[in-house]
A and B are shown apart, each in its own frame.
Chain A
């Protein structure tokens, strides 16, 4: 299993600003994932972040809007840039270990 923490747990931000979300894992993992979960919805994969390489973004998500860093095997950040109210969501990081996927508690973002 894996224990994942995220910071901040929630934030209220103004339109046009940026927020960086941190994800810390208690063990070294190769792949980390960032998901978005809009209110009442399922999870949508934003990107996959491997240490030492550029993140791979899913359709509809671009690096300029959601830059990701992966400086080591236990940490990653996701930045939500130039925010608009449509970016209000829960953002979750996730890792795979022992062929099973585990999630952090999420960051609840509200953009006003």
Chain B
């Protein structure tokens, strides 16, 4: 069974601070996806990383896929209250089956 561990589980920060969320596994994934979920809605895909060492940027969000494709990180610069939500990483083992991390609940206070 492939497991993805996300850390931290909870994060409460002030507007303007930076933060990093980690997603780690002992298994190799063909790709890894990051989602953000707001209350009352389904997860929304933010990015997919495919190549080991890949870095993708989405405005103030920077996503990195580990060289060995076993881990990933999400870094948010100058967090804003609109970034509040549940962040989920999910690994794809090339069988169209996603393994989800436990999620990181982020609260950004104004």
Contacts and interface: CB of A to CB of B under 8 A. Distances in A.
Chain A partners chain B = yes
Interface of A: 4, 31, 40-45, 48, 92, 94, 96, 99-106, 108
Given A40-B105, A42-B102, A99 B43 contact: no
A86 B26 CA distance: 32
Given A45-B97, A100-B33, 19 more contacts: A4-B42, A41-B102, A42-B103, A43-B43, A43-B100, A44-B100, A45-B98, A92-B42, A94-B42, A99-B48, A99-B92, A100-B48, A101-B33, A101-B92, A102-B45, A103-B43, A106-B40, A106-B41, A106-B42
B88 interface: yes
B101 interface: yes
Contact of B96 (A31, A92, A104): A31
Nearest to B4: A42
A44 B97 CA distance: 11
- Pick from A41, A44, A94, A101 the residue with the most CB of B within 10 Å: A101
A92 B93 CA distance: 21
A52 to B, nearest CB: 17
A11 to B, nearest CB: 14
A100 B103 CA distance: 19
B98 A101 contact: yes
Contacts of A101: 33, 45, 90, 92, 98
A100 B90 CA distance: 11
Contacts of A99: 31, 48, 92
Nearest to B103: A42
